[in-house]
Amino acid sequence: MTELPFSAVDLSLPAPAPLSFRHEKYQADTEFDWHRHPWGQLNRISLGLLELQLPQRTLAAPAEYLVWIPPGLPHAAHIRQSLDYVSVYVSDEQAATLPSRPCLIAQTPLIRALLDDFCQRGITSLQEEWDVCQAQLLLQRLREAGSVEDYLPDSDDRLLRPILLAMRTQPGDDTTLAAWAQQVHSTERTLARRFRQQLGMSFVQWRSRLRLLQSLVGLKQGRSVSDIAADLGYATPSAFIAMFVKQTGITPERYRRQLLADSPD
């Protein structure tokens, strides 16, 4: 890919010291063509799903995660629903202490609280000594939080690949890991170990993430929570709602109201 120039908007901003913030409200189906930033960037959304296209892959993340983009890395973006967005720019010195690759960083309760405070006060650049101290604490917590490569990773493992493909095709399939083991001529223990080793999560966690992504499509289409829950293999709507809240921090109905708030009549 030909090297992209930095945007005029970025170049008009003061360099982060050590952080700076840009607050935006975006409408549903907002697209951002390929671009890059002179500093590291943490992307934060208020709900739903953020999809970033990278040179080699697509990175999708729900609102419980921050998406980290190292300085200068080309990327494009797609925002499916109307939402509040915050771009946290990170100085070169501090960016060097964060992952060298694009990844997801979970918002722990303290990380979320620190960011919420900056956002509620509409902070853009850090002027007060206390805000600089708060930024340093936030950066320390980000370094300690760890990261994951992708929200819903894939694998070429000969045992996992057919299982992942089948589940992507039928997210509501309730086949147990033990039953999958029989189908691929393995054992439940072996598959459980490979899910952890290859994907960094359990079989149940991977399936829950897949179902969340599928549910976002159904909510955008205006389908009822009970219909979505049934299609995705949940015994009751409340079980589906509990999964959704755990993954996104809000209920499906609240997500739908915000998603459709700015849709055309």
Stronger pLDDT, 136 or 48, i.e. the higher one: 136
Across the range 150-170, mean pLDDT stands at 90
Instruction: Spell out the domain ranges in the chain.
Output: 8-145, 160-260
Do 172 and 232 touch, CB atoms closer than 8 A? yes
Which listed CATH number (3.40.50.800, 2.60.40.420, 3.40.50.1260, 2.60.120.810) goes with 8-145?
2.60.120.810
* Site of tokens 């722990």: 108
| Per-residue confidence (pLDDT) for residue 246, from 0 to 100 | 84
Q: Taking the C-alpha atoms of 99, 101, 102 and 108 in order, what is their torsion angle to the nearest 10 degrees?
A: -20
Which listed CATH number (3.20.20.450, 3.40.50.2300, 1.10.10.60, 2.40.50.140) goes with 160-260?
1.10.10.60
| Per-residue confidence (pLDDT) for residue 262, from 0 to 100 | 45
209 backbone dihedrals φ, ψ, rounded to 5°: -65, -40
Residues in the chain: 265
β-strand pairing of 58-62 with 103-106: unpaired
The CA-to-CA distance between both ends of the chain, in Å, stands at 40
Structure tokens at 159: 């045992």
β-strand pairing of 75-79 with 30-35: antiparallel
| Per-residue confidence (pLDDT) for residue 80, from 0 to 100 | 67
Q: Is the pLDDT of residue 107 over 70?
A: yes
| Per-residue confidence (pLDDT) for residue 260, from 0 to 100 | 62
Across the range 19-41, mean pLDDT stands at 90
| Per-residue confidence (pLDDT) for residue 2, from 0 to 100 | 65
139 backbone dihedrals φ, ψ, rounded to 5°: -65, -40
Query: Per-residue confidence at 4, pLDDT binned at 50, 70, 90?
Result: confident
Across the range 154-174, mean pLDDT stands at 91
Per-residue pLDDT reduced to its tens digit, 117-135 = 999 999 999 999 999 999 9
| Per-residue confidence (pLDDT) for residue 255, from 0 to 100 | 80
CB neighbours of 164 closer than 8 A, spacing ≥ 6? 154, 155, 206
226 backbone dihedrals φ, ψ, rounded to 5°: -65, -40
Across the range 197-216, mean pLDDT stands at 91
Angle between helices 109-120 and 129-145 (to 10 degrees): 150
Across the range 157-171, mean pLDDT stands at 93
| Per-residue confidence (pLDDT) for residue 219, from 0 to 100 | 85
| Gap between the Cα atoms of 14 and 183, Å rounded | 58
The candidate with the shortest Cα–Cα distance to 141, out of 95, 96, 110, is 110
Structure tokens at 5: 């120039």
Per-residue pLDDT reduced to its tens digit, 80-104 = 667 789 999 999 999 999 999 999 9
Structure tokens at 30: 């907002």
Looking at every residue in the chain, the average pLDDT score rounds to: 90
Could you write out the three-class secondary structure of 33-93? EEECCCCEEEEEECCCEEEEECCCCEEEEECCEEEEECCCCCEEEEECCCEEEEEEEECHH
Query: Per-residue confidence at 32, pLDDT binned at 50, 70, 90?
Result: confident
CA triple 133-135-136, angle to 5 deg: 65
Strands (E), 125-233: none
Q: Is the pTM of this model over 0.75?
A: no
Per-residue pLDDT reduced to its tens digit, 227-260 = 999 999 999 999 999 999 888 778 999 888 866 6
